[in-house]
Amino acid sequence: MAERSPLVDLVIVNWNGGRLLQRCLEAVSAQTVRDVAVWLVDNGSTDGSPAQAQAAYPGVHLLASPTNRGFAVATNQGIRAGSAPFVATLNNDAAPEPGWLASLLAACERDPTAGAVASRMLSTSRPGAIDSAGICANQAGIFWDRFGGAPAEGPEAEAPAEIFGPCAGAALYRRAMLEQVGPFDGDFFCYLEDADLAWRARLAGWRTLYAPAARVLHAHSASLGDTSPLKSYLLGRNKVWTIVKNYPAPHFYRRLPLILAYDLAAVSYAVLAQGRWAALRGRLAGWRSLRLALRKRRTVQQLLRISPAEADRWLEPIEWPWQVAGRFRHLAPRR
């Protein structure tokens, strides 16, 4: 008799996670939802964390790679390994509360048009503050964590809502949606691959919900750190790809000068005020591979099942540059 598929495939990507991974798996083992297959996808760790995890949690399925292929490729490997109707993604630097997965499932099962559900991710370095309550995007192609830095408790944080997309650091996806629009773009390596997927899902008519009861403690950018040159490079390159692939016409062509102006301002600030030349190198890499992004755009735009006006409704209005900068103030290193 064939083995029954679980309700959820939970995918955790690890790269030298150490104690963070142990804390994550301990929290996963305490989930109230038990019908779960846990896939630990290791990206060439050298700290012994995969073996330690398997010894402590023998029920975890280990998928090991000799090299670091990035979050997107590794997560896709975990998705393909399972067959459950729901896929949860969880960073190894995240620790969910026991009812986390149950809250995500309850929100998704109530609405058959929901392709994804976002968690309330709480910052470990800033107690009492939200790290992310999903992803926001504006008409200039700028992405940020919803409610990032805001109080963890309060009317806004507690209110369920429909949003642009989830942060893949702690999210639930409907497998039917992933099969329709495709999984994460493996070329991204890491960063903004969740924004790219969220935009594709939106274009195809899927909704994303925010489940405030799905609470997770998250150590933001524990693997690379917010000041990492590699992170700046990947964010710059992947931003170009995400916009070119997903921004629907005719709004894309009409707003392109403004998109470029805002991005030029952002890069100038990163280089001149912060000395982050990697941000510029990332943009240049994105534009050098424009032909690849345009090929992907032709495929993505075929997913469009809603009107351009409806697709544009999920992009927030363009703000003044100093207002945009305020969206990221909570990520500045604490003194």
pTM for this prediction: 0.94
Using alpha carbons only, give the angle 88, 151, 136 rounded to the nearest 5 degrees: 50
The pLDDT tens digits of the residues spanning 124-177 come to 989 899 999 999 999 999 999 999 999 999 999 999 999 999 999 999 999 999
Residue 239 CA to residue 283 CA, distance in Å, equals: 8
Nearest C-alpha neighbor of 93 from the set 131, 57, 62: 131
Which contacts qualify for 127-133: CB closer than 8 Å, 24 or more apart? 128/152, 128/153, 129/330, 130/157, 131/218, 131/220, 132/167, 132/169, 132/218, 133/157, 133/163, 133/210, 133/212
Residue 221 — very low, low, confident or very high, per pLDDT cuts 50/70/90? low
β-partners of residue 36 are 8
Within 8 A by CB and 6+ apart from 89, the residues are 10, 11, 12, 75, 168, 169, 170, 171, 173
Domain boundaries of the chain, sorted by first residue: 8-218, 229-331
The pLDDT tens digits of the residues spanning 75-133 come to 999 999 999 999 999 999 999 999 999 999 999 999 999 999 999 999 998 989 999 99
Backbone angles phi, psi at 175, to 5 degrees: -60, -35
Q: Which tokens hold the place of 281?
A: 């190198």
Q: Which tokens hold the place of 269?
A: 């600030």
Span 33-60, average pLDDT = 96
Domain spanning 8-218: CATH 3.30.300.30: no
Residue 96 CA to residue 124 CA, distance in Å, equals: 12
Residue 285 CA to residue 221 CA, distance in Å, equals: 22
Nearest C-alpha neighbor of 88 from the set 29, 11, 164: 11
Secondary structure tally for the chain: helices H, strands E: 13, 12
